[in-house]
Amino acid sequence: MLRGVIAELIDKLPAKTHADKDYLACGVLTLRPIRGLFVSTTHRGGLVHITVIGLGHTGLVAAAVFAEAGHQVIGHDIESEKCAIIRRGNSPFHEPGLEDIIGRVVRSGLLVIADNLEESLAQAEVIFLAVGTPAANGDSPNLAEFWSAVGQVVPAAPENAVLAIKSTLPVGITDELISRFKSIWPGEAPVVVVPEFLRQGSAVADFRRPDRVVLGSHSPEALATVRRVYDLFDLPAEVFHECTPMAAELIKHATNCFLATKISFANELANLCGHLGVDYEVIRRGLAADTRIGAGFMHAGLGFGGSCFPKDVAALIETGRMAECRLTLLETALVANRAQVKRVVNLTRDMLGELEGKKILQLGLTYKPGTDDIRGSLSLELAFLLSRAGADLTCYDPAYHPTTVGSDNLFDLTDDPLAAAVGAELILIATDWPQFGDLPWPEIAKSMSAANLLDGRNMLDPHKLTAAGFTYRGIGR
């Protein structure tokens, strides 16, 4: 009778989503206090108690979407301000759709943020480690934060918990981790490498419906446990790829290195087109029609940036060096990429002459559209290069946070691109935010002292821009 009364009350509650009511309807929940945290100890079929360590662009998306699916998730991060933002139901960074999910799962109690690491691990069946491995000198990854987190998590984890590694590690590091802790794991280590393949700007959709889930482990039991986490996503069997930890690490790096190399090839070809007087976009479309090549990552621009591609290319090059197997193709792709942004500066000089005192409006600072992330942003590097060359530079980005740019007064930031265009001698598109295509270009051209436009992402129609009064130049067009 009591269950029936509770079920009727739950059905009448103004819960905003099915997930909210689903969480409440787990039966008569037993709430166990863990030093101020209250989490469900009720198990339903398929549900897993998950802890996510590191709530950055990878970890927070994982935590939120796992909770949305119905798992009980506890998140932990060493940044207290970030944790406070998430507890309020907000996202500490821009990612389309993420904040809405966070709000719902925090309200429902399916996502709880813990300040204390040991508290966050107390009931964990699977611990997803998603701490950063940022680029250090030479773009190779800095593993200090990773090893620090591992050193705290492994000894404190419940006996049967599985450690699922989402941090991007150089090839072979997981086997080194297992070797370091063989006294804790005398048998097959309950460690699974679960590399992420999320694209910032579409990370939520990518996580909900992945094209692959790579699981690298020496332990069949650990693999089975992590597979349970994904049961609620109802994914087809062919999505899952089980392998060794080293193979999983290599799949991750090889993916990013292949895409980075494709970008460098596209830019090299576009540069050739520029010298030959051929429109690269015509060439690109002809190549993209070949299903063996495809359209992805064939757009010319500033090169590959962000927090992953440069670091992962450098890491795999280093792996090859240590294995005495030089990866000359990747070395060349990295060299070409570093030169590309300087080529764009030279294109600016071709249009304006010397840049000292020239008034330029740059559109875009983030490394790609759909995110506020400026880590490894070539758009930001371009702004610094132009400023140091003496340009009077103003920058606009729809998602920039002025406090994170760190321009050191080298250039101005604006939230009104139309006003900033008045009197400018050149507009340079550095990040291909789609809203830039909707700007009133004829009106802007009339307001400039010289209507020059350098399309660093080939996102605009040159014929329309020419008709609007601009002298247009793109990458290889």
Tell me: pLDDT of 280 over 60.
yes
Same structural domain, 223 and 327? no
CATH number, domain of 456, equals 3.40.50.720
Q: Where are the alpha helices (DSSP H) in 305-416?
A: 309-322, 328-352, 378-388, 402-405
Tell me: pLDDT of 5 over 90.
no
Inter-residue contact 175 to 246 (CB < 8 Å): yes
What is the pLDDT at residue 138? Answer: 58
Q: Is 47 part of a structural domain of the chain? A: yes
Bridge partners, residue 49, by sequence: 72
Alpha carbon 15 to its chain centroid, in Å, reads: 31
The residue among 243, 264, 297 that closes a domain is: 243
Same structural domain, 157 and 296? no
Under the banding of pLDDT at 50, 70 and 90, the label for residue 27 is very low
* CA count, 13 A, side-chain hemisphere, 452: 21
**SS3 label, residue 78:** coil
DSSP string for residues in 339-370:
HHHHHHHHHHHHHHSS-TT-EEEEE--SSSTT
Same structural domain, 184 and 265? no
Report which residue type is found at 8: E
For 199, other C-beta atoms within 10 Å of its C-beta total 13
Name the strand (E) or helix (H) holding 103: helix 98-108
User: What mean pLDDT do residues 46-64 have?
Assistant: 95
Tell me: pLDDT of 198 over 70.
yes
Same structural domain, 263 and 130? no
Q: CA–CA separation, 176 vs 138, rounded Å? A: 23
Note the pLDDT tens digit of each residue in 104-141: 999 999 999 999 999 999 999 999 999 999 887 656 78
The residue among 180, 215, 243 that closes a domain is: 243
Inter-residue contact 344 to 281 (CB < 8 Å): no
Q: Is 96 part of a structural domain of the chain? A: yes
Give residue for tokens 């006996």: 159
Under the banding of pLDDT at 50, 70 and 90, the label for residue 408 is low
Same structural domain, 229 and 312? no
Tokens at residue 358, please?
């020239």
What is the pLDDT at residue 129? Answer: 98
Under the banding of pLDDT at 50, 70 and 90, the label for residue 409 is low
Under the banding of pLDDT at 50, 70 and 90, the label for residue 2 is very low
Q: What is the domain range of residue 141?
A: 2-243
Q: CA–CA separation, 128 vs 69, rounded Å? A: 16
Q: Is 249 part of a structural domain of the chain? A: no
Q: Is 251 part of a structural domain of the chain? A: no
Same structural domain, 117 and 211? yes
Burial class (CB in 10 A: 0-12, 13-18, 19+), 214: buried
Same structural domain, 226 and 328? no
Whether 308 is catalytic is yes
User: What mean pLDDT do residues 198-221 have?
Assistant: 95
Tokens at residue 312, please?
């992962």
Q: Is 250 part of a structural domain of the chain? A: no
Inter-residue contact 106 to 87 (CB < 8 Å): yes
Name the strand (E) or helix (H) holding 9: helix 2-12
Tokens at residue 322, please?
């240590």
Q: Is 178 part of a structural domain of the chain? A: yes
Under the banding of pLDDT at 50, 70 and 90, the label for residue 382 is very high
> pLDDT above 70 covers what percent of the chain?
88
Tell me: pLDDT of 260 over 80.
yes
Inter-residue contact 141 to 177 (CB < 8 Å): no
Same structural domain, 36 and 176? yes
Q: Is 50 part of a structural domain of the chain? A: yes
Q: CA–CA separation, 227 vs 240, rounded Å? A: 9
Tell me: pLDDT of 22 over 60.
no
What is the pLDDT at residue 407? Answer: 54
Of residues 373 and 153, more confidence is placed in: 153
Q: Among residues 119, 125, 116, 128, which one has the least CA distance to residue 65?
A: 128
Under the banding of pLDDT at 50, 70 and 90, the label for residue 39 is very low
Of residues 184 and 43, more confidence is placed in: 184
Same structural domain, 296 and 238? no
Tokens at residue 268, please?
């090299």
Note the pLDDT tens digit of each residue in 329-359: 999 999 999 999 999 999 999 999 999 999 9
The residue among 210, 243, 276 that closes a domain is: 243
In this prediction the pTM is 0.85
Of 257, 308, 325, 395, which residue is the catalytic one? 308
Report which residue type is found at 191: V
Same structural domain, 229 and 290? no
What is the pLDDT at residue 137? Answer: 66
When divided into structural domains, the chain yields a total of: 2
Q: Is 287 part of a structural domain of the chain? A: yes
What is the pLDDT at residue 134? Answer: 86
Under the banding of pLDDT at 50, 70 and 90, the label for residue 405 is low
Give residue for tokens 């909900």: 208
Note the pLDDT tens digit of each residue in 241-250: 999 999 999 9
Same structural domain, 220 and 284? no
